[in-house]
């Protein structure tokens, strides 16, 4: 039997990914990251906890995602770099071509969970996924979740919630 495969794009220091892997030992996890110090931190955590269901890939997610056609049961994209300056926004990860790559990599009924504290980026991601036509917004058309029960919080998420900063949670299912 094939084990569910879950992928986190941009895992930072790896807290979310290691916790998810420990909570769901029946699943396999891949973490994709370009930030080498974060990879080093996660490798240390994997060794410390003896976690065996995580594979770590150093590289650009846009180049790695196509190697997983129809295999991913869930993608997690937590607090992607918002590139807040207008002239840098073209560098944002979530754009229509990446949404299409994600869709092609999802298994039937697969999901994409995103979180950000940046309102305009949340709106942008919402529009890209809804415009794709092959995703159903679990929160309802043009809606966000204000929280997701049972979600493992990231380091940034804990910090933002303590400070009272709003988090926008998006959850899409492939149709």
Sheet order of strands, 5-9 included: 54-58, 28-33, 5-9, 72-78, 106-116, 168-174, 135-137
Catalytic residue at 81?
Answer: yes
Residue among 137, 117, 118 at smallest CA distance from 126:
137
CB 53 within 8 A of CB 25: yes
Of 81, 100, 117, 120, the active-site residue reads 81
Structure tokens at 99: 């949404």
The helix (H) or strand (E) run that includes residue 6 is strand 5-9
Q: Which sequence positions are flagged as catalytic?
A: 81
């Amino acid at each position: 039997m094939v084990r569910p495969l879950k992928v986190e794009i941009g895992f930072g220091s790896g807290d979310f990914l290691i916790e998810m892997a420990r909570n769901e030992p029946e699943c396999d996890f891949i973490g994709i990251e370009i930030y080498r110090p974060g990879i080093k931190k996660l490798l240390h955590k994997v060794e410390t906890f003896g976690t065996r269901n995580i594979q770590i890939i150093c590289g650009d997610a846009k180049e790695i995602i196509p190697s997983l056609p129809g295999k991913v049961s869930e993608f997690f994209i937590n607090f992607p770099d918002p590139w807040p300056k207008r002239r840098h926004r073209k560098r944002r990860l979530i754009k229509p071509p990446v949404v299409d790559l994600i869709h092609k990599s999802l298994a039937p009924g697969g999901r994409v969970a995103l979180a950000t504290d940046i309102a305009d980026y949340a709106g942008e991601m919402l529009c890209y996924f809804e415009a794709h036509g092959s995703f159903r917004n679990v929160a309802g058309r043009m809606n966000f979740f204000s929280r997701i029960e049972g979600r493992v919080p990231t380091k940034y998420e804990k910090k933002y919630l303590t400070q009272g900063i709003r988090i926008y949670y998006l959850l899409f299912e492939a149709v």
